[in-house]
Each structure stands twice: as C-alpha cells, then as structure tokens.
Structure 1
Amino acid sequence: MSSFLDPKVKPAPPQTSSGGVPGNILMFDGVALDTRCQYCPERNIVLGLCREHSKNINLEVSDVKSVEDIRTALFEPPSDANKVCFGSDATVVAIAPYARSDHYRPVPLVVSASDKTEKGPELALWIRTLLDAYKLHEFGGSISGPIWALGSDGDSTFRSARHIICMTHHLQVVNSDMEIILRSLVGLNLYTSVEGIVGTCDPKHIFKRGFNSKLFMYSTIYILCRICNTSPKYPGLYAI
C-alpha cells in the first residue's frame, strides 16, 4: 500500500459532487506457484512457505541452524505443531476503482502463499485483517476511497469467506426513495458487511458453469455454437 497507493504513484480520485470519495472493489483470486523457497535479503527472511503454517517456524535467517530448522519443519517435522509447507497457490488481492476513467487498472496489494488447506472462516479472518489495515493506512480509505465490494471467482473457499463477511447486516435505507426502489426488486440481496461492503463475483464464472454443464451432459452437444439435444423418441438423433 505504501508503494502502489502513494498519491505520487497513483493520484487520488477526485471528490464527488457530494464531497465524498468514489469507492473501490477488492478482488481476490488464486494463482499457482512453484513449490520452492526464496531468500529475501531486504527482510532477511525465507519466502515461499504457506501462511497457514509459517507461524510454526522462525523465518528469519540468522545462522545455518535457522535454515536447517526450516528444512526440518518442511521435510521431517516432529509433530503437526512444528510443520510448515511450501506455498502451492498464491492468494492475489488487487483493488480497482468503480467511478474513474483514469487510473482504472487494478492495483495489486497482496500476494500471499497458501497450501490451500485454509477454510472459509480462516480466510474471512485474513480478509478482515486486510480490510482493517486498508482502512487505517495513510494511503488507504481516506485517500484512495472506501471499499464498496469484495469480488472473487467461484472458488468455494472464497465464496464462503465472502458470505461470512458480507452477509451480516441488512442494508438500512429507511424513508428514502432508494428504499422504495430496492425493496421492489424481488430477489435482490440487501445484506452487507458491518461497514456496508457487498459481496460480488465474476459473472463469467456463472456463464461458464451453465455452458459446461450443458457441454458435458450426455443428452446435449454443441455444434457451431448451437445446442443439439437428443430426441426422446429417437435417442440417437440430435435436433438443433
């Protein structure tokens, strides 16, 4: 945040007509990692280990024994309380504005290694820590704008964490024109986080699920972007 959200690097958004600052979406996704360690001379620590178990070992490199302790925790841990794993997947967090045509590209904030054993509640706690850090940072909410939404793909752990954070409080828009409009939209989710953050997802994954389910159904095939269904009367005959 200190580097990428610095107004000298990314200018702060202009204020809205009401005097506020436009909001942002915090986006989460996972990318595959090479399972190996790397030494970081700036921080004098070993990188590449999973966040789930890194607390079990001292990652600072002070002597040969400290490196040997990490090797033991990786390959010969005396117990589960002393083990650590390579990070096989990285949780990538980026932030992007909703109401800007300039500086619109997402800005990466976090890349954190994981062994993918983390469940929804643990990931929700990790995301909550990130939200609190962003809110309190000098270049965070007060300069770059508040977080309006959390977005992720269809991964079950991300969806669970998003649900835990963003489904706690019912949106309060009492005695306003907005309330009349929102309450008339049947099926609209009016629940948010404690500070009003909503949960969202990448729509393409919804379309992909529908496409893939039809693509792999026994009774359906695709030819030249057209759905072909088997005839109930003639199972071997496809009708376009």
Structure 2
Amino acid sequence: MPKPAQRLSSERKFLAASSRLDDYQRIMMAIVREDIPCLQAIIRRAFRNHVSLKEILHRLGNAMDRAYHSRLYTDDDFDIARLCMRLGGPKLVYALHQYTNIPSLRTIQRHSIRIQIRPSLGTISSIEVGANIRSVTQFVTARAARGHSFSLDETALEERPRYYPESHSLGGLCCEHSWRVDARITCLESILIISEKLKENVVHWGKEATVGAVSPFSRDSYSPMPILVSPTCKKESPEKMVDTYKIVLQEWDVVAPRLGSIWEFGSDGDPSRRASFHPFLMQHTLRPSDPLYGELARLPLLNLQTGPQNITMDFDYKHLFKRIMHLLRQEHGIMIGDCLITPDILVRHLRRLSGMDAFKVYALMNPHDKQNVPSAVQLLCSVVAVSKLPTDGLNPSEQKICAALTVLGSWIASIVEPFIDPSMSLTQQLESLSTAGHVMLALFSFNRSSFIPGAQYHDIAAMVKNAFFCVAKQKILDSDGEFFLSQLGDDRLENLFGRVRTLIHNIRNVDLMQLTDHIGSASEVDAVMMRHPSWDAADRRRSISGSVSVDHISPACWTGDVHVARVSLFTSWTVG
C-alpha cells in the first residue's frame, strides 16, 4: 500500500496532467470555434519563448479580442502582404492587417526594397540601362548556370509630359528625336522651346514605349527582368536599334559572370526589329574552334551565322501561329505545290470534321479575330485534323486538294505541336521543328511567296535555328540541365505587360512615369508568384488538351523529358 507522501505526489501529478489536458482541450476548442488572427505566428512565438499552455490560451483570448498582435512574421507573410499592396493598394493592406494581422504598410516598407526602373528621357544610354540591371538583379542568385533571353516589345503610352525632379528633365519625348531639344527644365523659356518644337513636328511625344527585358531559361525562376523603357514615335532606324543592342550587351556583361550570358534576342516579328536583328545577329559564321561548332556543324543546311557572343535571333512562336492563321484566312489563298487552298476550300473541308457546324467554322475563319492565340491554335489544329480525314469516295479534283491539305497539315503540325503538347520530349520537339524547317524550305523553293511571304519564311526559319542553337548552348553549359522551348520568344515580356494591365485595371493607357512605376511593381508581383506558383491562377491551368489553355503553358505543365543530355542534335535534325 503506497505511503501517504507517495499518494499525495501521485495526486498532484494527476491534477497537473488533468489541468494540462484541460488547457489543451480549451486551446483546441478556441481554434475550432473562433477565427483567431495570425494563429500560426502566435503559436510559433509562444513555443519559441517556452511559455505555458495557460499563457498560450491567454494570448489566444486576447487575439480574439484584437488586444494582442504577434509581430513574428515569416517570408510568406511578407510576400502575401506585398502582393496585396501591389494588386489592391494600401487600403487593402490596412483592412487585412486589422482582420488577419498580415504585416502593416510601414512594416512592409521597412522590409522591402522596391525595384526602381529608370526610363530613357532622351537617347538610350548605358546610364539608365546599367542602373536598371543593378536594380532588378540585386537580389537574384542563380542556383545553377543558365542562359538568358533578351526580348523587346512595345506597349501603348499616353502622350503626356512628366517632370523628373532628380534630373530636372521632361520625360515622354520620343527617343528618336529628343536629341533635337534640351529636355532639361531650367526655366520657363526651356519649356516654351520644347512646346514650339512639338508644334513644328521637330520632336514628338512617344506614342508607345519600347520595353526590353532579360529572362532566364529555368524550370522555376524565370521572371522577366525589365532593363529598358524608352518612349518611341516608331521612326527609329535599324542603326540606332543596333546601338541599343550593343549598350544592353555591354551592361549585361557586368553581371553575366554571376547570372549567365544572353543567348538570344526575341521579338514578335515587328518589321523594324527584323531589319535591325539581321545585320547585328548575322555578322559571322561559327568558327571550328568554337564549342558550338562541334555540336552544330554537322547539321546539313543549318545556317551557322550568329551575332556577338554567338547570340541568335528568335521570333515568338505564338505570333508565328497568328501569322499562319492570317495566311489561311486571306482571300488569295495559299499555294501548296500546284494546288491553291482558298478560304472557301478550307471552310468546305472544315465542315467535314465531326461536331464542326457553320457557326464554329465562321468563328475559326473570322478575319477580324486577329490577336486570339487560342483561336489561332484551334484553327491550326483543325487544319491538321482535316489533313488526316479519309478521302474515300472523293472525286479526283477533291483528292488533289486533300493531298495538298495533307502536306499543309503536316507542316502546321510540325510547327505547333512542339509548343502545345506537354508530353513531347525535347528530342521529339526538335525533330518536329526540323521537319517544319525542311518542309517549309521545299514548299518555298517551289512556290516562293505564293506559299508564304519571305519575311514569314525568315522568321520561322530563325525560330527553328535558334531552338537548336539554344539547346546546343545548354548542352555545353550544363549537360545535365533541362531546356524548355516554350520559354523562347518574347512571351514572358507579354506576360509582364499583362501584369501591368492588371495593376491599372485595364482602364486606360499610362504615361511614361506611371509605366515605369507599374513595371517595377509588376516585377515584384512576378517574383512573388515565382516563389509561390500555387498563388497564381495562370500556373494552375494544367489542362492543355483544350486550346484555350495554350496561352498559359509553363515549365510546370511540361511532362515530357527535356534533359539535354538525352538529346542528339544531329539525330533530331536528320530524322526531322
């Protein structure tokens, strides 16, 4: 029989355990029944300070009464607060701080360094390009060697002057002609002189802004880094554009040893951009001493001309899809061998597809729908489907048309499928693009511009060539790495413009100062979304079977093997 002292000790232990169990139950009930602001932070701080269960319960009670706020914030807390700040503004941050105890506006400002983008207030110079590169790369750490794409595109500007006090200058004048006036505002007379020159059409307000961004080739961190914003009146000469490219390369070379070099220049196919790309990026032929020569020299008919640092030009595949779509809709049709495929013929054969009624065919062939990428892909895929239909029972004339459609469908499939079929391996993608290049060469040799315009032939051929060059560069840089063809072109810069439109709620154009501010904010949003892809609705659209999702393909969607070590460029080229 236990002694009285032992019995008393056991009773005390039992009461203490019962009390702790009761505290646990009360904590659990409080969590289940009440919406406690910043619950994780409260529990985390309590355990870090080794406080008792009763104290935890007391703090939870105070939190429910809004009398206690934990200030132990995680990186995720700051990320969601920054996101709320950029997308919703200070009032949303304040409301959520009161309700869920996310970091306050002042706390966000103390723990954040904004990405500052400096526009070119005159002729593009290394000063603002270098400053922008330092701003966007200050916290970037490359976990592995990787290449980059430099892409250029334009976005609309509100033609309005803005004063920049740090340089005492007027912003918004076109970069092409701003050298004709002194943009520095020193007195009223300088403003009147600029006003007079605007009336005389000596200088202009920029109707658009040229934006340049560098984007890494990577599975996870691939956000575009804007390094160039310049107003333009769309009259810049190719020679001036080449000067800009040289400045970009010169300034990027400062960070290239840490982050990686630029492999390609991407564009949407703008004629002026093509005119500047060609002389700059086709300067010399690969030399036998170059490592790339060993990878690419054996590929028959492959153009081996490159620019400085072996940079090649590229044209965005989505814009190429749209241009092929326009080609199919044009009244004069497209020549395949000795057969002319007109829109009327295409409509008649599209109606043969199962489930394709007159309304759907009209929607696909609507010439006024020029910018819809999913619609373009749906039309191109429908032509591919038509090319595979049986031809039994057709008359000889229809048989001839179907034979031409088979060739056309094969060519279109070889261009489109590498970018929309996430199950394709990198080897299969390259084989398909090789097929596209060789079939296009044969058809263009026979039909010339009756098949496709020369500029379109140039851009598709450049896209195919660039894909092989970039994979070769990845093999040399890191043979164990991956490469995603979907990251070629300027699509990521287009996505940045989409972020900007989200920030301004699509209500109007912005002036130069507003654009640079919003581009900086959009870059911060992009960086947060890269760290938390599940927060971004676009990255959660995993179903690529329907063409509506083509506009949102990302590396996370790709299931095919894209390791460059398993790719033989020679085999892919010759099989294609």
Q: How high is the TM-score relative to the length of structure 1? A: 0.79
Match of 1:220 among 325, 343, 359: 343
Seen in structure 2, the aligned counterparts of structure 1 residues 43 and 143 have a Cα distance that, compared at 3 Å, is farther
Question: How far apart in 1 are the matches of 2:290 and 2:158?
Answer: 54
Deviations along 1:181-223, one digit per CA (max 9) or x if unpaired, are 5233233221111321111111122222111111122531551
Alignment partner, residue 302 of structure 2: 188
2:267 aligns with 152
1:114 aligns with 2:238: no
- Aligned to 1:211, which of 307, 319, 325? 325
Q: 1:128 aligns with which of 242, 246, 253?
A: 246
**Partners of 1:87 and 1:151 in 2: CA distance:** 22
Shift of 1:174: 4.4
Aligned to 1:34: 158
User: What is the match of residue 316 of structure 2?
Assistant: 202
Distance 1:143 1:175, change over 3 A: closer
Contact 2:286 2:293 in 1 (8 A): no
Structure with the larger helix share: 2
User: Which deviations, in whole Å up to 9, do the C-alpha atoms of 1:136-173 show, x marking residues without a partner?
Assistant: 4xxx2232221111111110111111111110111224
* Residue in structure 1 matched with residue 181 of structure 2 by the alignment: 57
Report the secondary structure of 1:162's partner residue. Answer: helix
Instruction: Please tell me the root mean square deviation across aligned C-alpha atoms, in Å.
Output: 2.6
Q: Please state how far the C-alpha of 1:134 moved relative to its aligned partner.
A: 2.2
CA distance in 1, matches of 2:194, 2:327: 45
Deviation (angstroms), 1:36: 1.7
Q: 1:212 to 1:232 in 2, by over 3 A?
A: farther
Q: For 1:175 and 1:68, how far apart are their aligned partners in 2?
A: 56
Contact 1:121 1:164 in 2 (8 A): no
1:43-98 CA deviation, whole Å, 9 max, x = no partner? 22111100111111111111111111111111136xxxxx2111112111000112
The answer (yes or no) to whether the contact 2:174–2:203 under 8 Å persists in 1 is yes
CA–CA distance in 2 between the matches of 1:135 and 1:174?
A: 22
Give the counterpart letter for 1:196 in structure 2: N
* Shift in alpha-carbon separation, 1:233–1:142, aligned structure 2, 3 A: closer
Secondary structure of the structure 1 residue equivalent to 2:309: coil
Return the offset for 1:42: 2.6
- The separation in 2 between residues aligned to 1:154 and 1:207, in whole angstroms, is 12
Determine the C-alpha separation between the residues in 1 that align with 2:307 and 2:328: 35
Rounded Cα–Cα distance in structure 1 between residues aligned with 2:221 and 2:165: 32
Q: Read off the aligned partner of 2:247 and give its amino acid letter.
A: T
Asked if the contact 1:121–1:160 (Cα under 8 Å) also holds between the matched residues in 2, the reply is no
1:3 to 135, 140, 145: 135
SS in structure 1 at match of 2:272: helix
1:94 and 2:218 are equivalent in the alignment: no
Question: How much identity, in percent, do the aligned residues show?
Answer: 29
Higher RCO structure (Cα 8 Å, ≥6 apart)? 1
Residue 163 of structure 2: SS of its match in structure 1? Answer: strand
Structure 2 residue 256 is the aligned partner of structure 1 residue 141: yes
Alignment deviations for residues 84-121 of structure 1 (CA, whole Å, 9 cap, x no partner):
111112111000112x3332111111110111111222
5+ residue gaps, structure 1, are 16-20, 78-82, 235-239
Q: Distance in 2 between matches of 1:73 and 1:111?
A: 23
Q: Is the 8 A contact 2:197 2:203 kept in 1?
A: yes
Instruction: Summarize the Cα distance change of 1:179–1:110 in structure 2 as closer, same or farther, 3 Å threshold.
Output: closer
Counterpart residue number, 1:80: none
Q: Please give the secondary structure, in 2, of the residue aligned with 1:132.
A: helix
Q: Secondary structure at the match of 1:195?
A: helix
Task: For 1:175 and 1:127, locate their aligned partners in 2 and report how far apart those are by CA, in whole Å.
Answer: 23
Structure with a larger share of its residues in strand? 1
**Residues 148, 196 of structure 1: 8 Å contact kept:** yes
Distance 2:219 2:167 in 1: 37
Change (3 A) 1:181 1:127: closer
Residue 85 in 1 paired to residue 214 in 2?
no
Give structure 2 stretches of 5+ with no counterpart: 1-132, 333-341, 348-360, 365-378, 387-394, 399-404, 406-576
Q: Please tell me whether the aligned partners of residues 169 and 183 of structure 2 are also in contact (alpha carbons under 8 angstroms).
A: yes
1:170 aligned residue = 285
Counterpart CA distance in 1 for 2:143 and 2:268 is 30
Change (3 A) 1:183 1:142: closer
Distance in 2 between residues matched to 1:232 and 1:45, nearest whole Å: 72
Tell me: CA distance 1:203–1:92, structure 2 relative to 1, closer, same or farther (3 Å): same
Which residue identity lines up with residue 137 of structure 2 in the other structure? L
- Normalising by the residue count of structure 2, what TM-score does the alignment of the two structures yield? 0.35
